């Protein structure tokens, strides 16, 4: 772990305040919801920039939940600081995603085995080729097992982490990814997977379908904040 001083510029915690397993919802209010409804003996360790962070216990296991914001630059910052300054070993994104596959509907759960991207995030590593960001198999296997125990159907496969929410090609751009079997689109997992791989720690994205852009269906902001509880429960059981 880095010897750089803490708190960091973005996380107002001391070493030891954050558990080795951290859930990363993009929405800080989802982090607050999880802390208030799932965790016991909760301590709030971060309010910097309104990106709430909490540590508590779930079924006797210590776990943290930290808002990570929108987009790869944001989760790139939070995941890097959690890994290198706070010693986090397991980072689990719990986020919303837009369905690209016609096999998915609202509230379905996707486990991101791999994360395609239109981002240039990997260029920092100066690799002599194209890097394929993937989840940690240990967490994928465990998440699938937990879901089966809970009787929850999940879809496991490739996802898209996009740098743009309002792409210039609109739905036509998304349909190109659909042709390649990509299940859904979100904006963070690829950066998380790359930061974790570079540091030798574990990462996984568990996503709930919040909208079906190719069909014109969507959930509300409030539903995205409080109603994606199946995803939360699976992630909490990975600690």
Q: Which helix (H) or strand (E) holds 46?
A: strand 40-46
**pLDDT the model gives residue 225:** 78
**pLDDT the model gives residue 1:** 47
How many structural domains comprise the chain?
Answer: 1
Domain that holds residue 49: 21-236
What is the token pair recorded at 209?
């379908």
Say yes or no to pLDDT of 3 above 60. Answer: no
Top pLDDT among 4 and 34 is at 34
**pLDDT the model gives residue 221:** 86
Whether 7 is covered by a domain: the verdict is no
Mean pLDDT of the chain: 96
Kindly report the pTM of this predicted structure: 0.95
b/e code 95-106 from CB counts within 10 Å (16+ = b)? bbbbbbbeebee
Q: What is the mean pLDDT of residues 174-186?
A: 97
Q: Which helix (H) or strand (E) holds 56?
A: strand 53-58
Whether 179 is covered by a domain: the verdict is yes
Q: Tell me how far apart the alpha carbons of residues 96 and 9 are, in angstroms, rounded to a whole number.
A: 26
**Candidate list 17, 27, 108, 211, residue with the active-site label:** 211
**pLDDT the model gives residue 224:** 84
Q: Are strands 154-161 and 109-117 parallel, antiparallel or unpaired?
A: parallel
Whether 16 is covered by a domain: the verdict is no
pLDDT classification of 155: cutoffs 50, 70, 90: very high
Whether 225 is covered by a domain: the verdict is yes
Q: Are strands 90-99 and 202-212 parallel, antiparallel or unpaired?
A: parallel
Residue whose C-alpha is closest to residue 88's, from 8, 161, 6, 23: 23
Residue pLDDT, tens place only, 70-111: 999 999 999 999 999 999 999 999 999 999 999 999 999 999
Domain holding 133: CATH number?
Answer: 3.40.50.1580
**pLDDT the model gives residue 208:** 97
Whether 5 is covered by a domain: the verdict is no
**pLDDT the model gives residue 41:** 98
Whether 4 is covered by a domain: the verdict is no
% of the chain with per-residue pLDDT over 90: 94
3-state SS class at 217: strand
pLDDT classification of 223: cutoffs 50, 70, 90: confident
Whether 2 is covered by a domain: the verdict is no
Q: What is the mean pLDDT of residues 153-172?
A: 96
**pLDDT the model gives residue 169:** 92
Say yes or no to pLDDT of 228 above 50. Answer: yes
211 given a catalytic annotation: yes
**pLDDT the model gives residue 6:** 82
pLDDT classification of 231: cutoffs 50, 70, 90: very high
């Amino acid at each position: 772990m880095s010897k750089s001083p803490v708190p960091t510029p973005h996380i107002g915690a001391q070493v030891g305040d954050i558990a080795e397993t951290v859930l990363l919802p993009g929405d800080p209010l989802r982090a607050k919801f999880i802390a208030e409804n799932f965790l016991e003996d909760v301590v709030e360790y971060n309010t910097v920039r309104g990106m709430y962070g909490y540590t508590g216990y779930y079924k006797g296991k210590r776990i943290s939940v930290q808002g990570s914001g929108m987009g790869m630059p944001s989760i790139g910052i939070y995941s890097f600081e959690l890994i290198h300054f706070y010693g986090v070993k397991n980072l689990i994104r719990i986020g919303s995603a837009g369905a690209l596959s016609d096999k998915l509907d609202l509230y379905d759960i996707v486990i991101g085995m791999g994360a395609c991207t239109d981002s240039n995030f990997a260029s920092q590593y100066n690799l002599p080729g194209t890097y394929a960001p993937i989840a940690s198999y240990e967490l994928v296997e465990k998440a699938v097992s937990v879901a089966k125990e809970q009787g929850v159907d999940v879809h496991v496969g490739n996802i898209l982490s996009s740098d743009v929410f309002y792409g210039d090609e609109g739905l036509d751009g998304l349909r190109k990814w659909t042709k390649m079997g990509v299940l859904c689109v979100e904006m963070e997992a690829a950066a998380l997977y790359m930061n974790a791989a570079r540091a030798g720690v574990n990462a996984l994205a568990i996503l709930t379908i919040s909208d079906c852009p190719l069909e014109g269906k969507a959930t509300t902001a409030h539903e995205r904040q409080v109603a994606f509880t199946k995803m939360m429960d699976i992630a909490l059981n990975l600690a």
